[in-house]
A and B are shown apart, each in its own frame.
Chain A
């Protein structure tokens, strides 16, 4: 076994680890646990990107990896932590889909993602690593969407969005070796600002509703 193959296996392993944290997210109920899981997932993503540098020999990815680590691994969790410290959590917010079914649904999501990427993106030169990582990225995207739909707590919905975004970045790393730098910085900036703004909105929700249960936001309808 030469070095190249073991490296590719390691890339796959780290990508799979971030998928694992994404699925673990669906089983999380408490906010601080959700934030910790998100941090772990972002770090795994950052390591995947860093290892991909040696796999693809594209050195712009180093900067992306560092940015991911700084913004998603440190800055966003820090801000989220600040927000959760200030709001008292109400434990009895039941999710729309309970935790057991959530994990089951995640299994189907993963199978589905591998299925739809199996034909389109085959690339014979790299032992299918790219394809596998893309499938994992797509699974993370769908798990993120699922989190946004199936959870009532506003903060977990934000984390669902951030998870989805991590999936997109992973997909981008595997297929196109990362986006051009200006665009990537723009994306990071938007996500960071978006997370903070959604966080501030949670304060407003808490002020007006005295809860962060988004299913209570139901005044506007016909």
Chain B
């Protein structure tokens, strides 16, 4: 006796029979859609940036290489060597050795200043925690992302390098870009 499925029946939709225009469209339609994009782009000008002659502009909040700041009026360093950036750093790439300001040798505004301030940029993950931790806005993340070098030790940036005005090589993206 034949098995009776009862009400447990599934309707199966079958594809149309192959052949004809419908068949040709099914075979090449998607390919043509792709080719449309291909040929469409042929008419546009290339989008490759000719790095390093030409640089990708970055957003204003892009976190690039760090900068240390000075007060514009007094010329004193903003950094007081509190080491909070080093504490916040998850990659442990900041090293600060503080020293005391003297009347003859005043470097920062407070009692102490950073005698040594080093960031090991080969370890830095550019998370920006140092910037957040800094109570004096002495360190900020700049826009510079060109830091490759031939030597690892050259990637340890000292205070002088971080204080120096970076060569404005990185264009900033404008608002509408």
Q: Do A and B come from one complex?
A: no
Interface residues of A (CB under 8 A from B): none
